[in-house]
Copies of this chain bind each other. A is one copy, B any other.
Amino acid sequence: MSQRNTDATVRVVDAHPCPVREVLDRVAGKWSVQILVAASHGPMRFTELERGIDGISRRMLTLTLRNLERDGLVTRTVHPTVPPRVEYGLTPMALELPGTLQRLTDWAERNRGHIAKARAAYDAEHRPELLDA
């Protein structure tokens, strides 16, 4: 139970997992959120996404889009022109996500400092080896 399946192929049917995990399995991939956010203001072309999301590779963009499409979060529309034009948009249920994720963003920005300090303190205490660099 609980798989992410970006590269891989599906295994079995999930039983009845924790619903929070269900969302996370869908959204926690390294690029999913950025794709959802990028496409939340209207459909985007493949290359637009590629340019808009810094550091993403063609491969990961394709894979992540396919997974989002498979889960019904993203729609893929091919315009049969030359050169081809493919647009990715969000489905209604996916459009609700960026707003919800915003709360997490806020939490992160509020507590970013605390976390950094906590890490430094913990490492100084329990990880002497890490004090070089």
Contact = CB atoms under 8 A, between A and B. Distances in A.
Interface of A: 2, 9-10, 12, 18-24, 26-28, 30, 33-34, 37, 69-73, 93, 96-97, 100-101, 103-105, 107-112, 114-115, 117-119, 122-123, 126-127, 130, 133
A104 B93 contact: no
Contacts of A133: 12
- Give the number of copies in the complex: 2
B28 A118 contact: no
Given A70-B118, A118-B72, A28 B24 contact: yes
Contacts of A110: 93
A96 B103 CA distance: 11
